[in-house]
Amino acid sequence: MHLLDLLTPARVKANVITSGKKRLLEQLASALSAGADGESERGIYDGLCGRERLGSTGLGHGVAIPHGRSARLASATGVFMRLAEPVDFNAPDGMPVDLVFALVVPEHYAQQHLLLLANLAEMFGDAGFRDRLRAAGDSAALYALLAEWQSEHPAAA
C-alpha cells in the first residue's frame, strides 16, 4: 500500500486553523472518519489520544504523525494537514508542529502500519520536501507534492 492510497484530495488540507493539540486531534478524527458514523469518529479520536498518551507522535522539525488502530475500519486511511499556525505537540526537539499526517489502520494491519509509519518518517525526514510543503499555495498543491514524492519513491509501499 502506497501512502497516496491513504489520501484523497479532500483529505489534504492547507492552512488549517486549530486552537491546540486536543482540538487538532478532534479535527483529524473527523476528517479520518468522514462518511462514517459518529461512533467511528469517537473511536478514532480515542485511539489517537490513547497513542499520544504513550508518547508524542511529534517527530521534530515541525512534523507530527498521529496514528492509531480501529476495529471499525476495513482499510487504512490518512489525512494531511498543514496548519496555519503551529501547535505544541511535545515533540522531542521542542518545536511546534505545522505539518501533520494522521493515519488510522484496521486492527489487523500490524506490519502494514509499521511500514506506513516508516515511509512517512522517510518522507518527512527530507528537509527540502518539508520546505516545499510549507511553501505550497493551497490544498491542491499539497496533494500534488505528496503525489510527486510517491512517484519518485515507488518502493515506499
Distance of alpha carbon 60 from alpha carbon 62, whole angstroms:
5
Give the three cell numbers for residue 30: 473527523
Q: What are phi and psi of 73, to 5 degrees?
A: -100, 145
DSSP helix/strand/coil, 14: strand
Distances (CA, A) of 120 to 2, 19, 37, 43, 48: 10, 25, 28, 23, 17
Residue 139 contacts residue 152 (beta carbons within 8 Å): no
Q: Which amino acid is at 111?
A: Q
Instruction: List the catalytic residues.
Output: 67
